[in-house]
Amino acid sequence: MRIQAALVESPSGPFTIHQLDLDEPRPDEILVRTTAVGICHTDLSTRRIWPQERLPMVFGHEGAGVVEAVGDAVTTVVPGDTVCLSFRSCSACQPCAAGAPAYCESAGILNFSGSRPDGSTPLARLDGSPVYGNFFGQSAFATHCLAFESNTIKVPADLPPAVVAPLGCGVQTGVGTVRSVLRPAPGDTLAVFGAGGVGLSAVMAAVADGCTVIAVDPVAARRAMALELGAAAVIDPTAEDDVAAAVRDLTHGGPHHAVDTTGQPAVVSQAISALRKRGTLALVGLGTAEFDTMSAITKGLTIRGVTEGDAVPAEAIPQLISLHRQGKLPLDKLITEFPFTDIEAAAKAASAGHVIKPVLTFPQGS
């Protein structure tokens, strides 16, 4: 079928809209008409480093939409279902069998290869030349995409698509890091370094669980949003000579838990220095960090890498929807909607910190 999709045609190149051809779904595939898709930091960082030989490429991994067709082997959804798209997993390896699909042994080829596991791609230019995709098993920066049972979760039809879309990655990462990994007790203190979409989702989850939350971010609007969402205090790292000391002062000796969403070495070091003895740091942001192992050892810290909030999407996304309906996860406050055709403007606004969570929307029936 003929679709519109946002292509990246060169490393760090802009998103540009093109008409493409999309294959019909294979037996294990699900055709989804996209109604909204979030722009995640991973989309923006990956396009900068994506290999030239796997371009042009369609990114996008926070899709929401309506099922239009399913392959013969698909049993979990039917045409007409409203769905949220998330990361893909194999459902068969040891981590998947143990309930940890975020650590699927085939995660690389299923989510980041730019093609199906057999090397084929369902996307092509109108002249027949291949276009790479299958990003997170979806490539949702398009009017239609192909997904799979492991990353397609049925959701209530009355939810706004712009709210559904971020659940599949950013929100489940932030909330899951707090609720599934750190599991703070009511009254615990938690510091969040980086108050973007993931960080603010962590703030909301921790506040809902009765924690005292400190948010650290250089962007004034994001600090203000953290306070609006219930953070007890915020810190501007550009205005503090010693960020770790400021966090310790606000938490009476250091937080019990910390979340780093930045992946920046200096920030990771600040989080480690800020934590109280036997505290836990969850690393969510992608990057390369060096830190003082002496501090980690003598304080007895736990440092834990976290992918997708340790989420099982089929379980996590309904839980997120329940929290949203209860008013504990007011995602609307984070979201700025853009028409799909304004994807590059939305990406620039996100990179500049002008918006927290850009979500692209599509005309009804597109």
CATH number of the domain residue 240 falls in: 3.40.50.720
Q: For residue 330, how many other CB atoms are within 10 A of its CB? A: 14
**pLDDT confidence band for 291 (50 / 70 / 90):** confident
**pLDDT tens digit sequence for 144-164:** 999 999 999 999 999 999 999
Q: Are residues 248 and 298 in the same domain?
A: yes
Q: Name the residue among 270, 213, 262, 264 with its Cα closest to residue 241.
A: 270
Q: Are residues 160 and 46 in the same domain?
A: yes
Quick one: the chain helix, strand, coil %, rounded to 5?
Answer: 35, 25, 40
Q: Are residues 127 and 209 in the same domain?
A: no
Q: Are residues 48 and 120 in the same domain?
A: yes
Q: Is 26 exposed, middle or buried (0-12, 13-18, 19+ CB in 10 A)?
A: middle
Rounded to an integer, what distance in angstroms lies between the CA atom of residue 237 and that of residue 246?
9
- The whole domain housing 58 covers 2-168+334-361
Could you give the C-alpha distances from 325 to 105, 127, 192, 242, 322, in angstroms and in order?
34, 46, 24, 39, 5
Rounded to an integer, what distance in angstroms lies between the CA atom of residue 239 and that of residue 80?
52
Rounded to an integer, what distance in angstroms lies between the CA atom of residue 149 and that of residue 79?
13
Q: Are residues 159 and 182 in the same domain?
A: no
CATH number of the domain residue 95 falls in: 3.90.180.10
Rounded to an integer, what distance in angstroms lies between the CA atom of residue 329 and that of residue 172?
11
DSSP class of 179 = I
**pLDDT tens digit sequence for 93-142:** 999 999 999 999 999 999 999 999 999 999 999 999 999 999 999 999 99
Number of domains in the chain: 2
Q: What is the pTM of this model?
A: 0.95
**pLDDT confidence band for 286 (50 / 70 / 90):** confident
